[in-house]
Chain A
Amino acid sequence: MLNYLRELIKIQSVSGSEEKLALYIKGEMEKYFDECEIDPMGNLICHKAGEGKKLLFCAHMDEIGFIVTTVDDKGFVHFAPVGGIDFVAAAYSKVVFENGIRGIMVPEEGLKSDDFKAEKFIVDIGAKDKKQAERLVKTGDTFAVEPSYTRLRGSRICGRPIDDKIACAILMAAAREADKFENDITFVFSVQEEVGIRGSKVAAFRCRPDYGIAIDVTATGDGHGSKPMAVSLGGGAAIKIKDSSVICDGALVKKMEQVADEKSIKWQREVLTFGGTDTASIQMAAAGCKVGAISVPTRYIHTANETIDTNDAQACLELVVALAETKL
């Protein structure tokens, strides 16, 4: 799983530009699943036929980033955010374009952090002037803060983008156990989650599952000055009750908790008072389906150092496999 994560982190996939990542994942998934196809929106849909209920798992491939709007006379690159960017976290960080060009994200001189917004920032790619810059970067190019993967003490790691590549890695690792699956399983690697939960909706409409479960990251309540929340880092796989986009199906939540208990998988309940996930769109596709979500507790989400405990991710992986092989 962590090997997958390291590979996935290296492949940039800002919302709308997930194709390269999709092809890489597809190459791996084809080894274990019967059918793997990329739908018109770019979602990767992998299917492993089974006897039981139709169960869909979904992880989003896209990461937050930026898109170039214009290049000015000084050769500075102006841009718009793609997804929820925290500019306090992004200021002065190194960014990478899809073609490998690097730059620094710089706010206007003297600007107070309260006034940070995209229009007040540029990326300095080291170009002398507009002409030179435009040879390297064009309007519409996407870029993101430099990827990284660092081991902290014990089982904790930090880096970016862990949201939501850890979930992709979890599903890829789960696929290796496909022989054990009882249910009819679909893994969806969705696009454009960070810009408003767009991709998973059409994927779920196509699959019409009985149950839909999204895998994503969630905030924790045990960080420095965190908002009160009962989720902790190292507390196990978080089983979502609600976030601001979705209320999970009560019966499915209970079932997930039961399966986790049976397999001695460490879990905790998650009530997130903000944020949204693919779970919402899966619930609302076509005639709807029963949904749940498994979250990896993550500190400093949407910064360059998203931090997780790999034991939690391992618990999420075990829960995915357990659900896939349990009669629902």
Chain B
Amino acid sequence: MLKTKELIEKLCDIMSVTGYEYKAADELSALVSPYFDSFYEAVGGAYVGVKKCGRENAPRLMIDAHFDEIGMIVTDIHEGGYLSFSHMGGLDRRIMAASEVYIYGKEKIYGVICAKPPHLQQKGEFKKLQKLDEMLIDTGYSKEELEKIVSIGDGIGFYEKTASLLGNRICGRSMDNKCCAAAAILAAATVEREKMECDIYVTLSFREEESMAGGCVMASYDIKPDAAIVTDVTFARFPGVDDYESVKMGEGPAVSLSAATDRRLTNKIISLAEGAGIKLQRTVDATNTGTNASALCMCGDGIPTAVVSVPLSCMHTYNEIIDTSDIEAAAEVFKTVACSKEIFA
């Protein structure tokens, strides 16, 4: 039986910094292709897993979870083995000092982002954040040796590993959005084929963190789905985050009510989840869901699109926190949708 926590941990272990998702192909395929009828990389930038219901001309349901994670890119190599870098996706500069990274050159090497010692700091400087181009990574190599392994343009990811907190909660790097990818994979893996009313296309898409319109947009062009669910993370309740823009962790996934998504599809999902007794929270994202959905819904001839999101704390840090029960509930929602006649009626 596929264990949720284990699946998330394995997905998180796969480096997929925005722009370097292609490097994940072998590892990812080995991990998840057994759960699909076919698994391939779409040229526009997405891994696509297909599970068919077995009937001809069945409607197509696309479940999109972006697979990229925030990270960095090498911009220069200095004397003493120090690297300059820029961002891939929206970095949080509050957490950078003394944090640990892997540089993905010809081989994977470890590095520490330099923190300025107090004697070099102006009074009160600790209140200010350094600019990215002032930061350096200490690799412990000489420049000569480093240049044999690392080139400008190589990707950099955070080092932090997945770890357990109390109960169902886990923390670690790239939970955004591997936990949602896990929900989509879990749904496809465990849904009974006989009960499916549609073919499922799970797109693990690229470049969301840089463009908000990742590879799913292009992938949809060939898939031509009849409906799509974008699954991404949303803010968990936290001091300083308004209640109206956050949901409670452990209380199930949230469906987005937004002008950018398809309200009929959304309403059907809500009533299906209620019927199946799955906890479902709601978020209101009036004009923009902040996910791939905003771009996806306008693709090709138009795609009815809904957003099902999972609460996450510490977004864009290397210790993002989620509750695995929310992931399992999200997977249940996807399964219920895939097995429903009404969705495509």
Contacts and interface: CB of A to CB of B under 8 A. Distances in A.
Consider the complex of A and B and state whether they touch directly, i.e. have CB atoms less than 8 Å apart: yes
A60 interface: no
A288 B215 contact: yes
Nearest to B86: A273
A287 B86 contact: no
Interface string A263-304: 000000111010000000001101111100000000000000
Contact of B22 (A228, A229, A250, A284): A250
Q: How large is the interface on B (under 10, 10 to 19, 20 to 34, 35 or more residues)?
A: 20 to 34
Given A241-B152, A250-B23, A271-B86, A287 B42 contact: yes
Contacts of B153: 241-242, 253, 269-271
B114 to A, nearest CB: 15
Given A228-B84, A241-B153, A247-B207, A286 B218 contact: yes
Interface in B17-41: 18-20, 22-23
Contacts of B86: 242, 271, 273
Interface in A88-136: none
Interface string A45-77: 000000000000000000000000000000000
Contact of A284 (B19, B73, B218): B218
B135 to A, nearest CB: 11
Contacts of B88: 242, 247
Contact of A247 (B18, B43, B75): B18
Contacts of A249: 22
Interface string A212-239: 0000000001000001111000000000
B151 interface: yes
A226 to B, nearest CB: 12
B133 A288 contact: no
**Which of A221, A242, A289: most chain B CB closer than 10 A?**
A242
A311 to B, nearest CB: 20
Nearest to A250: B22
A210 B219 CA distance: 14
B210 interface: yes
B76 A230 contact: yes
B43 A228 contact: no
Contacts of B221: 286-288
Nearest to A248: B19
A266 to B, nearest CB: 15
A290 to B, nearest CB: 6
B75 A271 contact: yes
Nearest to B133: A228
B44 A288 contact: yes
A290 B76 contact: no
B22 A271 contact: no
Contacts of A253: 153
A289 B43 contact: yes
B53 interface: no
B76 A228 contact: yes
Contacts of A271: 73-75, 86, 152-153
A288 B218 contact: yes
Contacts of B200: none
A290 B41 CA distance: 12
Nearest to B218: A288
B143 to A, nearest CB: 13
B79 interface: no
A115 to B, nearest CB: 25
A253 B45 CA distance: 15
Closest 4 CB pairs of A and B: A288-B44, A288-B218, A241-B153, A247-B19
10 contacts: A229-B75, A241-B19, A241-B153, A242-B88, A242-B153, A247-B18, A269-B152, A273-B75, A283-B44, A284-B218
Given A273-B86, A286-B218, 16 more contacts: A227-B133, A228-B76, A228-B84, A242-B19, A249-B22, A250-B23, A251-B22, A253-B153, A271-B73, A271-B74, A287-B44, A287-B221, A288-B45, A288-B219, A289-B43, A290-B43
